[in-house]
Amino acid sequence: MSPPGPRSRSALTLYSLMDCPRSHTLRFVLALKALPHDVLFVELGKLPGELVSAGPSLTIPALLEREITLYEPRIIAEYIDERFPHPPLLPNDPIGRARMRLTGHRIEREWVDALDAARSGTAAAAQKAKSQLKASLAEADPLFKAAKFFLSNDIGWCDCLILPILWRLPSIGLPLKELGPSIDAYATRLFQTPLFQRTLTESERALIA
- On whether both 27 and 115 belong to a single domain, the answer is no
How many domains, the chain? Answer: 2
Give pLDDT, residue 209: 62
pLDDT for position 7:
37
What is the model's pLDDT at position 57? 84
Domain boundary among 25, 60, 83: 83
Question: Are residue 156 and residue 187 in the same domain, yes or no?
Answer: yes
- Residues 136, 187: one domain? yes
How far CA 137 is from CA of 71, 105, 114, 148, 191, in Å, comes to: 27, 15, 11, 18, 18
Measure the CA–CA gap between 140 and 144, rounded to whole angstroms: 7
Distance (Å, rounded) from C-alpha 146 to C-alpha 142?
A: 7
The pLDDT tens digits of the residues spanning 82-111 come to 999 999 999 999 999 999 999 999 999 999
Are residue 68 and residue 105 in the same domain, yes or no?
Answer: no
Residue 10: the pLDDT is 62
Query: Taking a C-beta distance cutoff of 8 angstroms, is the pair 28, 164 a contact?
Result: yes
- Asked whether residue 187 falls in the same domain as residue 104, the answer is yes
Do both 68 and 117 map to the same domain?
no
Q: Identify whether residues 77 and 98 lie together within a single domain.
A: no
- Rounded to whole angstroms, the Cα distance separating 126 from 172 reads 9
Rounded Cα distance between 134 and 57, Å, is 32
* Domain region containing 72: 6-83
- Please tell me the predicted confidence (pLDDT) of residue 191: 97
State the greatest distance between any 2 C-alpha atoms of the chain, in Å, as a whole number: 50
With a cut of 50, which residues of the chain have pLDDT below it? Answer: 1-8
User: What pLDDT is attached to residue 11?
Assistant: 87
Does one domain contain both 111 and 55?
A: no
